[in-house]
């Protein structure tokens, strides 16, 4: 019986090649989209899932209440981890982790090999907590001794040839100290959120950073592993006020510690009102829904196209019923046909997915692959085939098997109002989802264009960042002198970190008239001479730091937001304090963005220090002279800093990196919106075919009575566009709400005006008209004699 079903299904498939091709293509495209998203979501959810102690691993984060606000972040105190382990009995292991370099790269030398590697400082318990396999050395003691370093397999092979040869060897760090390789660990797996080529001991970190002994300073991240039998809620309660064991409480600020499961951090890394709130998980949920919706759209196409052919297959059903076929047998037959078409669609979808994966990986920055060797993959495909076949074939099977054989054989087959309403409702549903995706695509594109083109308050074009390292620390003045003479360079300055992201904040700012109970967090910067000139910032009052004024070493420049926060009507000349530093305000900067537009501009205070030992060189080049300027900078750096490779970043590219996730989402939205509207148009094509067949005689009568081709095309097109118009009414409010929620993550954002919906509506109508134009013209131009002939 089953064999006969598939024989009939195959004959129908071959006999109606165009219909079958459209059906298979629609389903295949929906499945391709779903498979790609499923692979991406699967990869996102697998990040950090490989740690053996994952259920017991937590990251400590800090929450503070001040200035009427509640905020939170991951940076913590430098001695926190070891104190938590010492005091809290439920904590088995603990370690702090921090970047080894502000630029993200450090220079190493071994023998005649010199290279840059990215790494961290980490506590001694690191390898006991995290499942990064140690190939050589003792994981328990690898990061215990001063001067020790653990390196990756890649770094070991790069400098020493093999991991075995690396153990016990000496490697030169930043051309200033020799470190001993105490361990070699396996390269980071692709599903790790942490990526580093080396780890240095926390003992060395403390030695290099005296500020860690002050419990008011934060920078490193802290991780703990609790005992298996420990209750996380009780541990959270114990550490909540832990900081006040080491510092006095202040009325102006309340600090609390909290825990987040480490395996959840990658997807849940955003904060709202001091607590974990969203993150990449929002995109995972969003695209999971997109995958489901596009697959539903594809299934709806199948239903509409199959129903559109009902008039041609109705006599087959009538004959089969007359000769004794029961309804269950007919349902089985049509479900079998759906499964056959779905099977071909799945095969094509898997092949297309394999072909598209390289491009998809490049777009998303992933290393996805089809896990064809894993039984779970094939079970998932079988499940997808079963669900899709049932959804796609259920309505046509139930509808066709329910036809009245007498009416069918007499040629009086008419479709009920409810059946017609259901089919049109499916089209409305399809286009509503497609319109939501189109509106989302437009809004995301406009927001990305806004953040890229908005005036940041400084000119990020022709601005180059060079890390201050090695001999450049003491040769900065000589470097500036030589670089300033180059014809392609306009000006040179320096800054701690970089102006793209100023993360360092201080709460120790005092000013005249400040409320003793008020604590305000200021972003703070340390710069060199010519900072304002090099950045092309605007001064609204006062002046820049200058060598003509000997007191500028104890003076400050603040931004407009700081002035508003301080409430100083005439800030220039006012004496303020930054911790133990007291000095006068000499200038006020017009507000400029020094973080992404997800964040509001913070109060900013800047001081002068030409002797600061690390950070970023800021070089402003002449327009069109960047290539020559880079060549000149390379020559100067090779002369003044021969032990370090010349590296640089462009300011505009560093700024763009702040929106990597959004850029990927924007591109994916474009592709998915296109796919959704294309597949939906296949459904509209099915409805147009069905309607043309149903109204064949009506069209013939209209033509006999004098209706022109244009009149008939207008009438049919209007009928076809009604579901699209209803879809707009349904989709526009939903799209407005969804995208407004998305834009809430940006402090600086576009307004969703009527233009967005006008463009989306016009685009949808044009596409819909192009889709139905073939069928409407074909019906309008048909011979009325053939239409009216009795069959």
Helix count (H) and strand count (E) of the chain? 25, 27
In percent, how much of the chain has pLDDT > 90? 41
User: In terms of pLDDT, which residue wins out, 588 or 498?
Assistant: 588
Q: At what angle do helices 709-743 and 660-694 cross, to 10 degrees?
A: 150
Instruction: Reduce the secondary structure of 554-601 to three states and give it as a string.
Output: HCEEEEHHHHHHHCCCCCCCCEEEECCEEEEEEEEECCCCCCCCCCCC
Contacts of 665 (CB under 8 A, 6+ apart): 283, 444
- What pLDDT shows up at residue 635? 93
**pLDDT computed for residue 310 by the predictor:** 55
Whether 119 and 171 have beta carbons less than 8 Å apart is answered as no
pLDDT tens digits along 12-39: 666 667 677 777 888 888 889 888 988 9
Whether the per-residue pLDDT at 96 is higher than 90: the answer is yes
pLDDT tens for 148-183 read: 999 999 999 999 999 999 999 999 998 889 999 999
Stretch 437-459: mean pLDDT? 86
589 contacts 576 by C-beta, under 8 angstroms: no
Which tens digit of pLDDT belongs to each residue from 382-430? 887 888 777 777 766 666 666 555 555 555 555 555 666 777 777 788 7
Q: What are the structure tokens assigned to 60, written together?
A: 């400590």
| Cβ atoms of residues 690 and 415 within 8 Å | no
Triad 20, 21, 25: Cα angle to 5°:
115
Measured CA to CA, the distance from residue 388 to residue 298 in angstroms comes to: 9
Q: Whose CA is closest to 181, among 172, 192, 191?
A: 172
Widest CA span in the chain = 108
Residue 310 CA to residue 334 CA, distance in Å, equals 12
Percent of the chain with pLDDT over 70: 85
User: Residue 750 to residues 299, 439, 743: CA-CA distances in angstroms?
Assistant: 36, 14, 8
The Cα 549–Cα 516 span in angstroms is 32
pLDDT of residue 580: 85
The alpha-helical segments, DSSP class H, found in 598-753 are 626-640, 651-657, 660-694, 696-704, 709-743
Q: Residues near 385 by Cβ (< 8 Å), separated by ≥ 6?
A: 339, 342, 343, 346
pLDDT value of position 481: 92
Span of 444-453, 539-548, 655-664, 727-736 with lowest mean pLDDT = 655-664
pLDDT single digits (tens) 204-248: 999 988 888 888 888 899 999 999 999 999 999 999 999 999 988
Q: Could you tell me if 511 and 584 are in contact, meaning their C-beta atoms sit under 8 angstroms apart?
A: no
Q: Tell me the CA distances in angstroms from 376 to 38, 369, 383, one per residue in order.
A: 13, 14, 10
Please count the residues of the chain: 791
User: What's the pLDDT score for residue 706?
Assistant: 64
pTM score, whole prediction: 0.82
Average pLDDT along the chain? 85
Q: Is the pLDDT of residue 634 over 70?
A: yes
Find out whether 53 and 225 touch, Cβ atoms under 8 Å: yes
Q: Which two tokens stand for residue 317?
A: 């059903």
pLDDT for res 93:
97
Integer Rg of the chain from CA = 34
For 67, the 3-state DSSP assignment is coil
Angle at 134 between CA 129 and CA 140, to 5 degrees: 50
pLDDT in tens, 178-208: 999 999 999 999 999 999 999 999 999 999 8
């Amino acid at each position: 019986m089953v064999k006969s079903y598939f024989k009939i299904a195959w004959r129908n498939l071959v006999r109606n090649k165009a219909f079958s091709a459209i059906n298979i293509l629609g389903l295949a495209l929906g499945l391709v989209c779903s498979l790609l998203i499923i692979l991406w979501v699967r990869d996102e959810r697998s990040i950090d899932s490989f740690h053996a102690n994952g259920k017991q691993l937590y990251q400590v984060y800090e929450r503070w209440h001040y200035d009427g606000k509640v905020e939170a972040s991951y940076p913590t105190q430098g001695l926190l981890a070891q104190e938590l382990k010492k005091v809290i009995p439920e904590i088995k292991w603990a370690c702090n982790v921090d970047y080894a370099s502000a630029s993200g790269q450090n220079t190493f030398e071994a023998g005649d090999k010199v290279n840059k590697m990215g790494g961290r400082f980490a506590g001694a318990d690191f390898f006991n907590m995290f499942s990064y396999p140690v190939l050589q050395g003792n994981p328990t003691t690898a990061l215990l001794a001063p001067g020790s370093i653990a390196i990756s397999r890649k770094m070991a092979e790069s400098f020493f040839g093999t991991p075995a040869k690396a153990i016990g060897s000496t490697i030169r760090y930043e051309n200033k100290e020799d470190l001993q390789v105490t361990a070699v660990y396996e390269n980071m797996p692709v599903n790790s959120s942490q990526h580093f080529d080396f780890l240095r001991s926390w003992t060395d970190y403390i030695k290099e950073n005296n500020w860690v002994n002050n419990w008011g300073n934060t920078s490193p991240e802290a991780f703990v592993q609790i005992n298996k039998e420990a209750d996380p809620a009780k541990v959270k309660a114990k550490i909540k006020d832990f900081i006040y064991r080491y510092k006095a409480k202040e009325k102006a600020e309340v600090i609390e510690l909290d825990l987040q499961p480490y395996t959840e951090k990658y997807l849940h890394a955003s904060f709202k009102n001091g607590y974990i709130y969203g993150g990449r998980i929002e995109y995972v949920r969003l695209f999971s829904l997109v995958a489901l919706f596009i697959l539903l759209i594809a299934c709806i196409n199948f239903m509409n196209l199959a129903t559109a052919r009902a008039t041609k297959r109705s006599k087959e059903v009538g004959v089969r019923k007359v000769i004794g076929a029961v309804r269950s047998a007919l349902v089985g037959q049509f479900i079998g046909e759906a499964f056959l078409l779905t099977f071909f669609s799945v095969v094509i979808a898997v092949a297309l997915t394999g072909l598209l994966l390289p491009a998809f990986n490049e777009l998303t920055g992933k290393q996805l692959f089809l896990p064809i060797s894993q039984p779970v993959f094939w079970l998932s495909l079988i499940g997808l085939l079963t669900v899709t076949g049932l959804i796609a074939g259920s309505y046509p099977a139930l509808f066709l098997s329910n036809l009245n054989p007498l009416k069918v054989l007499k040629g009086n087959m008419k479709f009920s109002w409810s059946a017609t309403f259901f089919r049109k409702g499916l089209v409305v549903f399809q286009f509503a989802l497609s319109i939501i995706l189109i509106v989302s695509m437009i809004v995301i594109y406009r927001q990305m264009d806004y953040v890229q083109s908005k005036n940041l308050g400084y000119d990020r074009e022709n601005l180059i960042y060079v890390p201050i390292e090695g001999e450049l620390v003491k040769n900065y003045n000589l470097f500036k002198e030589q670089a300033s003479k180059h014809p392609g360079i306009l000006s040179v300055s320096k800054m701690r970190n970089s102006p793209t992201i100023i993360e360092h904040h201080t709460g120790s700012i005092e000013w005249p008239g400040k409320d003793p109970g008020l604590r305000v967090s200021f972003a703070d910067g340390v710069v060199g001479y010519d900072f304002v000139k090099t950045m092309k910032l605007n001064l609204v009052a006062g002046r820049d730091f200058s060598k003509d004024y000997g007191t500028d070493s104890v003076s400050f420049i603040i931004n407009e937001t700081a002035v508003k926060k301080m409430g100083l009507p005439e800030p220039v000349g006012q004496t303020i304090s930054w911790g133990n530093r007291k000095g006068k305000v000499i200038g006020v900067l017009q507000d400029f963005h020094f973080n992404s537009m997800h964040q509001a501009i913070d109060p900013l205070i800047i001081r002068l220090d030409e002797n600061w030992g690390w950070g970023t060189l800021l070089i402003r080049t002449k327009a069109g002279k960047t290539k020559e300027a880079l060549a000149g900078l390379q020559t100067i750096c090779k002369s003044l800093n021969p032990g370090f490779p010349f590296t640089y970043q462009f300011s505009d590219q560093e700024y763009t990196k702040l929106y990597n996730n959004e850029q990927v989402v924007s591109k994916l939205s474009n592709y998915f919106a296109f796919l959704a509207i294309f597949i939906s148009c296949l459904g509209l094509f099915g409805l147009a075919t069905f309607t043309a067949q149903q109204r064949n005689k009506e069209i013939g009568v209209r033509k006999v009575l004098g209706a022109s081709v244009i009149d008939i095309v207008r009438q049919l097109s209007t009928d076809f566009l009604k579901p699209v118009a209803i879809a707009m009414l349904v989709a526009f409010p939903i799209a407005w709400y969804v995208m407004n929620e998305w834009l809430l993550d940006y402090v600086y954002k576009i307004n969703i005006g009527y233009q967005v919906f006008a463009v989306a509506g016009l685009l949808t109508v044009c596409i819909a008209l192009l889709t139905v134009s073939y069928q409407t013209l074909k019906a309008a131009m048909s011979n009325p004699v053939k239409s009216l002939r009795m069959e």
